[in-house]
Amino acid sequence: MSTAVALTAEDAEKKPTSRRWRADSLDLVVTPALFLMLATLLIVVWNYSDFDQTTTNILEPAKLWRQFQEQLFVAFWSTVLVVVIAVPIGILVTRENVPKIKDTLVSILGLGQALPAYGLIVLFFVWLGQGAVTVIIALATFALLPVLRNTIVGLEQVDKAVIEAGKGMGMTGVQRLAKIEMPLSVPVILAGIRTATVINVGMAALAFLIGGGGLGETINAGLKLNRPTAIFVGAVLVALVALAFDFIGGLAQRYLRPKGV
Amino acid sequence: MNAEPLIKLEDVTKAYPGVEEPAVKELNLAVNPGEILVLVGPSGCGKSTTLRLINRMIEPTSGRIIYEGEDVTKGDPNELRRRMGYVIQQIGLFPHRTIAENIATVPKLLKWPKDKINDRVNELLEVVSMDPSIYRDRYPSELSGGQAQRVGVARALGADPDVLLMDEPFGAIDPITRDRLQNEFLRLQGELKKTIVFVTHDIDEAVKMGDRIAILREQSEIAQLDTPEHILTDPADEFVENFLGSGAILKTLTLRRVKDIELSPLVTFKEPFQRDQALREMSDANTNVAVLLDRNDHPTRWIDEKALNRSSSLDRAGRPITVQLQPEDTLQDALSAMLTSAAGMAVVVDARGHYLGGCTVESLAGLLIQTGQESASS
């Protein structure tokens, strides 16, 4: 029927949406701002406070540099360990043909997070002895839950119709996982990894407790010897590292998000 | 039909563990090549399950599925699915892939060469009336519902399968767009001649789309399987009658075309014309409505006596004709055109807009009464 009635809105050109300014982009501004504030404060304190001999000893740059590297080492490898363990488990428990154990699993691992990190480190020390590796394993246990939970949630929030369409077109289970489910859950999984990273970077300050080094040594020394400046410098350095990692995580979340989503 | 059925379900049963009654019970169904077979029935009758048994999205508990003369009940279901197009109500476009990548899904799975895939994507976008240069690189979130559904159909046609399985493909789309997509799809099918199994719960859609309709009751039992005409005029039993609803005869309107009825000649004037002569002709023909044609025989305005008497300028007398019918339009369209028209009737034009005749409520009513009498006597 040829009608003179105007075409429906259906034909109105939809404008291509540019990369939208998302609410979650806010932290890409706030985090660097906070970082700069703290860094400025640190430089001011470093340059304008009077260091006595003890403080100078504690804050010896070479020592700080070593602790900084240890801190990163522990944080990095514990995060890698978390990802390598939690993501595959998350994938496994969300497969159709696997018994529904994910809720049980999440509650059990929730216990790991209910224990204080301090306690976990000591427990693992009793079991595995001292050193950075023990700290890495303890922190990995502590940070497992956010990554596992986000992997499960991320995979489950993928539109079932999209998976069904893929299946209906003859994609195998592995193809559906690799080409549909994983790309579409990347933002949620990355958010979990980001949380785990920040937990690990912060908690790595406890590594010194069992001989794992890290910036915790400086804070500890400052506390023991009653040197507030040293405590401050150590704490601010830990915070700066955590903020830096959080920022990198934010960037990853923003730029690794699949296009079109 | 003489041709060997393309798809055959033989004694197919699907039972779910823990549920006493099977969802589909010993179903036998044959789909002929090139036809649109519509599965229609109340919700929960197993029509969707039946469709999904064909490409083994649901594995049958017993029975056999024959496709192109080959038993496909066993063997790799993924291979089978790549040979059949599949369209679902929610469409399920991959949101992280461009339109082109979406359409290329099955060709890619079949490892076609890149150039061939590229050409095929362009071709398919043209087929569903979307400009490849505009839409190829867009993402699904940038499409309207109707456009997305078109891409869904294009994607299902990706590797040029012989069969399309469509599960309420137009169910989630607004009525106006749905009507357009249905028409477009029928036109497309006229060219492609695919074998289509189409699931819907909407009997009107079934009548419109189907070459044959299978009305299903619980457990996918076929209550009647026939052409829309036969089902509407000769329902097999009470269940079918109830399912068709009270307006069954009215629904036959969608099966008939304007060209099937005799057009009534209307009084026409061609520009330029004389007021007095016009009034005389109208009273001679004993009518008070006439059609004004422009120099090219395109109908432009409805004119009545009052308008002629009142209006000073003749070229603005009467009311504009907004809706015109073409011979290919259904009588359903004709009815709604008449009801919305200022004159209570509709003009019929050919493809180039030239006046052919008029269509009146009387001629439609006559046809309906005749149909009703036929079906009552059969």
More confident residue, B273 or A248: A248
Q: Does B57 touch chain A (CB under 8 A)?
A: yes
Per-residue CA distances from A8 to A14, A16, B150, B320 (Å): 13, 19, 16, 21
Chain A contact residues (CB < 8 Å to B): 1-5, 8-10, 12, 14-17, 159, 161-172, 175, 179-180, 183-184, 258-261
- Check residue B2 and give its pLDDT: 53
Please, which residues bridge with residue A216 across strands?
none
Q: In which element (H, E) is residue A131 found?
A: none
Please report the number of interchain residue pairs, chain A to chain B, with beta-carbon separation below 8 angstroms. Answer: 118
Please, which residues bridge with residue B319 across strands?
B302
Residues near A234 by Cβ (< 8 Å), separated by ≥ 6? A205, A215, A216, A217, A218, A219, A222
> Which of A8, A171, A258 is nearest residue B96 as measured by Cβ atoms?
A258
**Listed range (A7-21, A42-56, A176-190) with the worst mean pLDDT:** A7-21
Q: Does residue B195 carry a pLDDT above 90?
A: yes
Site of tokens 């006596």: B305
Domain A64-255 is of which CATH architecture?
A: Orthogonal Bundle (1.10)
**Listed range (A172-176, B169-173, B228-232, B257-261) with the worst mean pLDDT:** B257-261
d(CA B166, CA B285): 52
Position B145, amino acid: G
pLDDT in tens, A81-103: 999 999 999 999 888 877 777 77
Q: Does residue A159 carry a pLDDT above 90?
A: yes
Give percent above pLDDT 90 in chain A: 36
Q: Does B241 touch chain A (CB under 8 A)?
A: no
- Check residue A12 and give its pLDDT: 42
CATH 3.40.50.300-classified regions of chain B: 7-246
pLDDT in tens, B249-301: 777 787 788 888 888 888 888 877 777 888 888 888 888 788 888 888 888 88
d(CA B98, CA B94): 8
Contact A120, A200 (CB under 8 A): no
The Cα of A154 is separated from the nearest Cα of chain B by a number of Å equal to 15
- Check residue A50 and give its pLDDT: 80
E-only strand ranges, chain A: 2-3
Q: What is the 3-state secondary structure (H, E, C) of A29-94?
A: HHHHHHHHHHHHHHHHHHHHCCCCHHHHHHCCHHHHHHHHHHHHHHHHHHHHHHHHHHHHHHHHHC
pLDDT category at A57 given cuts 50, 70, 90 is confident
Cβ separation of B177 and A183 shorter than 8 Å? no
The mean of the pLDDT values for chain B is 87
Taking CA–CA distances from B338, the nearest residue in chain A reads A1
Cβ separation of B96 and A168 shorter than 8 Å? no
- Check residue B145 and give its pLDDT: 87
Site of tokens 């393309």: B6
Cβ separation of A165 and B78 shorter than 8 Å? no
pLDDT category at A13 given cuts 50, 70, 90 is very low
d(CA B159, CA B106): 6
Contact B261, B255 (CB under 8 A): no
Q: Does residue A115 carry a pLDDT above 80?
A: no
The mean of the pLDDT values for chain A is 84
Contact B299, B270 (CB under 8 A): no
- Check residue B282 and give its pLDDT: 82
Q: Does residue A10 carry a pLDDT above 50?
A: no
Domain ranges of chain A: 64-255
Residues near B70 by Cβ (< 8 Å), separated by ≥ 6? none
Which residues, numbered 248 to 267 in chain B, qualify as contacts with chain A under a Cβ-Cβ cut-off of 8 Å?
none
Taking CA–CA distances from B101, the nearest residue in chain A reads A179
Which pair of structure tokens corresponds to residue B121? 């994507």
Question: Domain B7-246 belongs to what topology?
Answer: Rossmann fold (3.40.50)
pLDDT in tens, B211-221: 999 999 988 99
Q: Give me the phi and psi of B70, to 5 degrees please.
A: -120, 135
Superfamily of domain B259-366: CBS-domain (3.10.580.10)
- Check residue B314 and give its pLDDT: 66
Cβ separation of A169 and B143 shorter than 8 Å? no
Q: Is the dihedral of CA A204, A210, A214, A215 positive or negative?
A: positive
| Residues A111-124, mean pLDDT to the nearest whole number | 80
pLDDT in tens, A205-235: 888 888 888 898 889 988 898 888 889 999 9
Give percent above pLDDT 70 in chain B: 97
> Which of B88, B105, B158 is nearest residue A161 as measured by Cβ atoms?
B88
- Check residue A21 and give its pLDDT: 53
| Residues B333-356, mean pLDDT to the nearest whole number | 84
Per-residue CA distances from B248 to B252, B255, B362, B369 (Å): 7, 11, 19, 13
Q: Does residue B133 carry a pLDDT above 70?
A: yes
pLDDT category at B312 given cuts 50, 70, 90 is low
Which pair of structure tokens corresponds to residue A227? 């040197």
Residues near B98 by Cβ (< 8 Å), separated by ≥ 6? A260, B136, B137, B138, B139
CATH 3.10.580.10-classified regions of chain B: 259-366
Taking CA–CA distances from A172, the nearest residue in chain B reads B78
pLDDT category at B377 given cuts 50, 70, 90 is low
User: For an interface test with B, which of A1, A2, A186 has the most B Cβ atoms less than 10 Å from its Cβ?
Assistant: A1
Q: Which residues of A touch B138 (CB under 8 A)?
A: 16
